[in-house]
Structure 1
């Protein structure tokens, strides 16, 4: 009965989380296509230069308290109110620091326009801090329906605003207005939909209890955030805003299937698995299914996107963005293992092993920085190949700890991964053979994806693929 309830909760959560993620991403994607034709790559490059400051600030504001609140089953009013006021105070201090250093950042990139843009964009840090607790409570209750409504409304209104401003030649400020308006609307809507309101109390006891777990999650998240954004920093500094624009578009498209699908599973299953963290067998069985099904979906999407990167970029963004295509081909291989990395850490997080997660991130990022130092002098493409190599190394590091402490190591996980990888490689070969002689980008894209879907699904059915059977079973019994 417990496993049945867990499955129902997970499936409903995944369905609503998927709706939220991909409806919002779909709306943003459409508006991005329109704006990409109205703006130039350097406009996106300027915004990409600021991503590290926004991401680091968000990690420090949250301080891992969201994960700590979700994991704590018996959370109190004092816990939530303490996190709320802590976030607001820290966000205000961080914004003040970023406001002061904005001219130095502009000098570093030799881009004067970056100073006023940074001071306006970073206002989203303060605005976001007002909704951290609401989001955590929605996630804890596996309520992604409310978040879907808020995110979709915010994305639609802010997207229309951004397109209009881009059309009347506001340039990079169209992207600034879109991002800031989206944050404001999303925060207001979450407050309106949530019944929770902060009380006038602050508990140092609650802070200390949450901080013990949350601080380690914050440090691991901060290390990961800094590492991810090292690439835009180096590209923006060594190369140019235009090349950073090409890289950021390629990274965004690679993230779309991989990160989004994984994050949907991760944020739904984390609160669900926290409820059964004491049942080791049920926990590992649930995790095995997640690994299988996420790889079954993500692997063909990533390899298919890699194979069709050039016609995809030309059709979607236009020929002026064609330089992004080869970068996208490489990055797709680095991102295809993202589900395995993320879900391994999610399993350790469920068991409260934030210390191990921190150790893993430190080891991986040290190796990653070494790779960046070795590949950056060789060019932008070499840096992308370094990302692929680092992703493979990370697989062994992540699975080492789950194998040691949870008896589910690299060999066990490869058994779940290999069938989907094998099917995806066959599909990749079929795409190349089919579209190699097609010169029209739109026709090439259409035929390539048609072949990919048919080949992959037919072989999966003929070989009675386990992940395929599980997905069909879940869809049939989703109610």
Structure 2
């Protein structure tokens, strides 16, 4: 148990640090690109990425989760799935190349066909890196994964910036995607020090097929319905409108990925090792909800308050339409981060079939709500997404928690404490915001942020909420001790 805790905390440290550096770097790159490119360029890329990201789901086929969940996965299992992934990658490349004209016709935008054909090569490239990445994930060896991600993202981002500066437009984003795939696959393959054996066992495929097929359908449904807003806006609105909406979603994504992304990467392989002990699972998830609530909720509410000066400072006036959409999406941002971890309970307990049904019903309802909002413009769609996210969040608390005896009201009670404190802290900052209108944009961002931080941390400490204690005991204090030991 101590070894698992040490491995998990180490993995969590590396994964969180990697997310922080990686997302911060991607954020800087995206800001530079947003200044160099037009909303239309991002809109065109968003249309294409809907289809490429859906195709990427087929690449793994759900075998990754199955291999992580299987405590006894052997070399022949990994090798067999490796060759299967490569074969799927080649098939996806051919299919995507052939249907590119149909996709362009759907969007009524001719250039989409050319972009999609160029990007289809990433299916073959990335197929070689899936199993090496799974092996490192299964071993909770996020040190190597983090270094690979940061290096690949930095170099591919640099290429995109140079091309954007040279007026290559949307093709600078295309080049970024291809370079990121190529570099990450190359680096992860060497970092894993794994080579496939010359073996293909049909029995290995059959062994994981039942579990993985459920995961595949879950991922297909999730990805398709998650991108329903992008598909609909791309179809019925100009590319520039999709660029605006996509930029709002992307900006919200960065803090969620920095905070929650690292935790999610580590938790599934860690919890898979204690899948038969419900008491420990409840303890782990309770701690996770405390930590995520403590970190994510105040960040999201702070972004709502400082949205306008933030957008004007980093993206300039041409992206001002992002502000109201960004604010609406941030209001429910914490629900994505907190509710998302509960889906891991189904996978941890091997309940992939139930997860398939759960996600199918939830995502269909989600899509219907978004579809009904289509005629109300971008703000209307953002509001509909916020409503659907709230309903999805409540379902994510109830059903997975029921599986391990972690009652709905207990989870909601934990989250509510942090939510009330964040709302109060943000309201105090909002009362003073009108006095800052004549100030520099940077001060309009910093002053409310500092006000919220001070009020929030003080109140959380005053009420002795567990999230603050957990972070202090497991992260901040051990780090300080290590630094003191190094000095001595």
TM-score, length-scaled by structure 2: 0.95
State the SS of the aligned residue for 1:127: helix
Query: Which whole-Å CA distance do the structure 2 matches of 1:74 and 1:263 have between them?
Result: 27
CA contact (8 A) 2:19 2:257 kept: no
Q: Which aligned pairs between 1:250-265 and structure 2 lie closer than 5 A?
A: 250-265=248-263
2:137 matched residue in structure 1: 139
CA contact under 8 A between 1:291 and 1:339: conserved in structure 2?
no
* TM superposition shift of 1:396: 2.8
Backbone CA RMSD of aligned residues = 1.4
The structure 2 residue matched to 1:368, chosen from 347, 366, 383, is 366
**CA deviation map 1:291-329 (0-9, x unaligned):** 111111111111111121111111111110110011000
Match of 1:309 among 307, 310, 316: 307
Correspondence list, 1:288-299, <5 A: 288-299=286-297
Structure 2 equivalent of residue 274 of structure 1: 272
SS of the aligned residue for 2:194 comes to coil
What do the CA deviations read for 1:136-159 (whole angstroms, capped 9, x no partner)? 111111111101111111112111
Deviation at 1:40, TM superposition (A): 0.5
Aligned pairs for 1:5-154 (under 5 A) are: 5-154=3-152
Is 2:164 the partner of 1:166? Answer: yes
Residues 385-464 of structure 1 aligned to structure 2 (within 5 Å): 385-439=383-437, 440-464=440-464
Q: In structure 2, what is the equivalent of residue 195 of structure 1?
A: 193
Q: Deviation per CA, 1:324-374: give whole Å up to 9, x if none.
A: 011000011232201232111111210111112111111111211220121
What CA distance in whole angstroms lies between the structure 1 residues aligned with 2:206 and 2:434? Answer: 60
Distance in 1 (CA, whole Å) between partners of 2:159 and 2:102 is 30
Are the equivalent residues in 1 in contact too, given 2:16–2:261 (CA < 8 A)? no
Aligned to 1:184, the other structure's residue is in SS state helix
SS at match of 2:197: coil
Partner of 1:208: 206
Counterpart residue number, 2:485: none
Q: Residue 477 of structure 1 corresponds to which residue in structure 2?
A: 478
Pairwise CA distance, 1:60: 0.8
Alpha-carbon deviation of 1:467?
A: 1.1
Following TM superposition, by how much is the alpha carbon of 1:441 offset from its aligned partner in structure 2, in angstroms?
A: 2.5
Structure 2 residues without counterparts, runs of 5 or longer? 483-488
Query: Alignment partner of 1:337: what SS?
Result: helix
CA distance in 2 between counterparts of 1:335 and 1:259 reads 11
Partner SS for 2:115? helix
Tell me if structure 2 keeps the 8 A contact 1:312–1:445: yes
Q: Is the contact between residue 360 and residue 398 of structure 1 (CA under 8 Å) also seen in structure 2?
A: no
| CA-CA distance at 1:410 after TM superposition | 1.5
Instruction: Please report how far the alpha carbon of residue 131 of structure 1 lies from its aligned counterpart in structure 2 after TM superposition.
Output: 0.5
CA contact (8 A) 2:132 2:189 kept: yes
For normalisation by structure 1, the TM-score amounts to 0.97
Is the 2:259–2:292 contact (alpha carbons within 8 Å) kept by the matching residues of 1?
Answer: yes
Unaligned runs of 5+ in 1: none
| Contact 1:35 1:163 (C-alpha < 8 Å) held by counterparts | yes
Structure 1 stretches of 4+ moved >6 Å: none
3-state SS in 1 of match to 2:240: helix
C-alpha contact 1:51 1:229 (8 A) present in aligned 2? no
- Say if 2:40 and 2:243, in contact at 8 Å, map to a contact too: yes
Q: Work out whether residues 401 and 409 of structure 1, in 8 Å CA contact, stay in contact via their aligned partners in 2.
A: no
Deviation at 1:52, TM superposition (A): 1.6
Distance 2:111 2:462 in 1: 57
- Does the 8 Å contact 1:402/1:409 carry over to 2? no
Distance 1:49 1:390 in 2: 22
Equivalent residue number for residue 383 of structure 1: 381
Deviation string, structure 1 residues 235-258 (Cα, Å, up to 9, x no partner):
111111001001111001111112
Name 1:155's counterpart in structure 2.
153
Aligned-partner Cα distance in 1 for 2:455–2:123: 46
Contact 1:83 1:207 in 2 (8 A): yes
Query: SS of 1:74's equivalent?
Result: coil
Secondary structure at 2:72's aligned position in 1?
coil
TM-aligned CA deviation for residue 42 of structure 1: 0.4
For 1:467 and 1:160, how far apart are their aligned partners in 2? 37
Secondary structure of 1:170's match?
A: coil
In the alignment, the residues of structure 2 paired with residue 451 and residue 284 of structure 1 have an alpha-carbon distance, to the nearest angstrom, of 34
Compute the displacement of 1:403 (Å). 4.0
Of stretches 290-299 and 23-32 in structure 1, the one that deviates more from structure 2 is 23-32
Query: How many residues align structurally?
Result: 477
Displacement of 1:6 after TM fit?
A: 3.1
